[in-house]
């Protein structure tokens, strides 16, 4: 449902978040560098704490329903954003982006994503208000996406340039080398665009594709455009610091796709049940509401989302730890003539010698 939160609160929240993003962008622009683990951890902790506090403010202003929907939406979008970092890593590697400028790339990509997602959210809210049956399509799409994740059909090991990037390369003159974080440079007296522009488009357009999954998912948890947009903002803020914090840990989250599949599948089923509960399509139950279709409460959604993420994380770390231990054992040097086999050999050889001679078998055995 759309909650009647005070207009002043919504505008004040959006204004504060825009200012925060602008300050973050200014900091990155003035001091491009590779953040340390400590710095990244502090920033990620700050943004997570900020989201938790914002949820409490929503609770105080609007009650438990919008607060619960915000937390569920934020957790869902955040977990999907972590999965998106795999592709961001590939893009950075594919275009050989200098490490000290990767923060800027991620920040600009986040801003592009927010603008595009904002348009998606407004369009989605308007469509859902007029055509409730769209929930059937959203639900079916999310279930299909969940099946693809489990089946491994969403393999992202290799980044492929999309139509927007290929078109950009054909239309605009692009230099071969970077010029810091600039998008324009001069080479032999000619003004050219740098590969940084291509990277910005790659990050932005890729995130637009991710929105095709995430926007229907969060609309399955709340129909309030304000809650949807703020959950997206908080999920994307701190994403660049999370990129540097996780680093190689991303490869250790081997069960994350399964957790995301469970979450998306659950929300897909929730959407279809909700569509059945408010059904108006004439060819389903004669256009009447389906009485047996239950309404899934927000607390159950939160439980499924948190439980899936927690179980996947613990199971992933346990599996990678076992894999590392097995690999270390296999690569460890082995001594074929260790103490135990040598002792056995001595004992076996000593018995015949002792029966025919009273000489000590020790030197002879050890000589072998």
pLDDT digits (tens, 9 = 90+) for 60-71: 998 888 999 999
Distance separating alpha carbons of residues 308 and 312, to the nearest angstrom: 6
More confident site: 277 or 74: 74
pTM score > 0.85 for this model? no
Percent of the chain having pLDDT more than 70? 81
Q: In this structure, what token pair is assigned to residue 187? A: 């080479």
Asked if residue 57 has pLDDT above 80, the reply is yes
Where residue 287 falls (left for φ over 0; alpha for ψ -120 to 50; beta otherwise) is left
Q: Per DSSP, what are the bridge partners of residue 190?
A: 187
Of the candidates 280, 276, 267, the one whose C-alpha atom is nearest the C-alpha of residue 219 is 267
Asked if residue 13 has pLDDT above 90, the reply is yes
CA-to-CA separations, 223 to 118, 163, 210, 218, 274, in angstroms, rounded: 14, 32, 19, 8, 12
Q: Is 7 helix (H, G, I), strand (E, B) or coil?
A: helix
pLDDT band at 203 (very low <50, low <70, confident <90, very high): confident
Distance separating alpha carbons of residues 265 and 143, to the nearest angstrom: 5
Determine the Cα angle at 128 with ends 112 and 227, to 5°.
Answer: 55
For residue 185, give the H/E element and its range. Answer: strand 184-187
pLDDT band at 32 (very low <50, low <70, confident <90, very high): low
Q: Is 233 exposed, middle or buried (0-12, 13-18, 19+ CB in 10 A)?
A: buried
Residue 192: phi, psi to the nearest 5? -130, 155
DSSP per-residue codes, 194-214: -HHHHHHHHHHHHHHHHHHHH
More confident site: 197 or 27: 197
Contacts of 239 (CB under 8 A, 6+ apart): 81, 85, 106, 110
Asked if residue 22 has pLDDT above 60, the reply is yes
Where residue 83 falls (left for φ over 0; alpha for ψ -120 to 50; beta otherwise) is alpha
Asked if residue 352 has pLDDT above 70, the reply is no
Residue with tokens 């506090």: 53
Q: Is 192 helix (H, G, I), strand (E, B) or coil?
A: strand
Asked if residue 55 has pLDDT above 90, the reply is yes
Tell me, what's the pLDDT at 249? 64
Tens-digit pLDDT profile for residues 133-189: 787 888 888 888 888 878 865 444 455 666 667 777 777 788 877 887 788 888 877
Tell me, what's the pLDDT at 109? 76
Tell me, what's the pLDDT at 356? 41
DSSP per-residue codes, 37-91: HHHHHHHHHHHHHHHHHHHHHHHHHH-HHHHHHHHHHHHHHHHHHHHHHHHHHHH
Strands of 242-359, DSSP E: none
Tell me, what's the pLDDT at 60? 93
For 51-79, letters b (16+ CB in 10 Å) and e give beebbeebbebbeebbbbbbbbbbbbbbb
pLDDT, mean over the chain: 77
Tens-digit pLDDT profile for residues 237-290: 877 778 777 765 666 778 888 888 888 888 888 888 877 877 777 778 777 777
Tens-digit pLDDT profile for residues 88-110: 777 887 788 887 778 778 777 77
Q: Average pLDDT of 20-47?
A: 78
Tell me, what's the pLDDT at 50? 93
Of the candidates 311, 308, 310, 214, the one whose C-alpha atom is nearest the C-alpha of residue 262 is 308
Tens-digit pLDDT profile for residues 301-341: 888 888 988 898 889 888 888 887 888 887 766 544 544 44
Q: How many of the other CB atoms lie within 10 Å of CB of 4?
A: 9
Tens-digit pLDDT profile for residues 108-140: 777 877 887 888 888 877 777 677 778 788 888
Tell me, what's the pLDDT at 349? 45
Where residue 185 falls (left for φ over 0; alpha for ψ -120 to 50; beta otherwise) is beta
């Amino acid at each position: 449902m759309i909650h009647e939160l005070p207009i002043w609160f919504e505008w004040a929240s959006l204004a504060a978040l825009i200012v925060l993003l602008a300050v973050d962008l200014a900091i990155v622009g003035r001091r491009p560098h590779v953040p340390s683990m400590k710095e990244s951890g502090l920033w990620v902790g700050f943004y997570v704490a900020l989201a938790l506090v914002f949820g409490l403010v929503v609770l105080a202003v609007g009650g438990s329903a919008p607060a619960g929907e915000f937390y569920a939406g934020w957790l869902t979008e955040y977990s999907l954003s972590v999965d998106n970092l795999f592709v961001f890593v590939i893009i950075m590697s594919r275009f050989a982006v200098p490490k000290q400028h990767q923060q800027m790339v991620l920040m600009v990509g986040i801003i592009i994503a927010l603008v595009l997602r904002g348009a998606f959210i407004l369009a989605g809210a308007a469509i859902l208000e007029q055509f409730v049956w769209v929930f059937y399509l959203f639900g079916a799409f999310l279930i299909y996406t969940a099946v693809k994740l489990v089946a491994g059909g969403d393999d992202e090991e290799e980044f492929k340039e999309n139509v927007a990037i290929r078109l950009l390369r054909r239309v605009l003159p692009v230099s071969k080398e970077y010029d810091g974080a600039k998008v324009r440079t001069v080479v032999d007296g000619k003004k050219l665009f740098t590969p940084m522009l291509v990277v910005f488009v790659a990050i932005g357009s890729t995130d637009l594709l991710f929105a095709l999954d995430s926007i229907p998912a969060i609309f399955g948890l709340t129909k309030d455009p304000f809650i949807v947009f703020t959950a997206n903002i908080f999920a994307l803020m701190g994403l660049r610091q999370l990129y540097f914090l996780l680093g190689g840990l991303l490869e250790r989250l081997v069960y994350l796709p399964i957790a995301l599949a469970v979450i998306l599948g659950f929300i897909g089923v929730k959407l279809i049940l909700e569509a059945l509960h408010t059904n108006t399509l004439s060819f389903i139950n004669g256009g009447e509401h389906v009485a047996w279709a239950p309404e899934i409460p927000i607390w159950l959604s939160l439980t499924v989302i948190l439980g899936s993420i927690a179980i996947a994380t613990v199971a992933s770390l346990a599996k990678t730890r076992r894999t590392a231990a097995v690999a270390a054992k296999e690569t460890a040097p082995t001594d074929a003539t260790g103490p135990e086999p040598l002792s056995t050999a001595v004992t076996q050889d000593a018995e015949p010698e002792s029966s025919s001679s009273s000489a000590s078998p020790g030197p002879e055995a050890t000589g072998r």
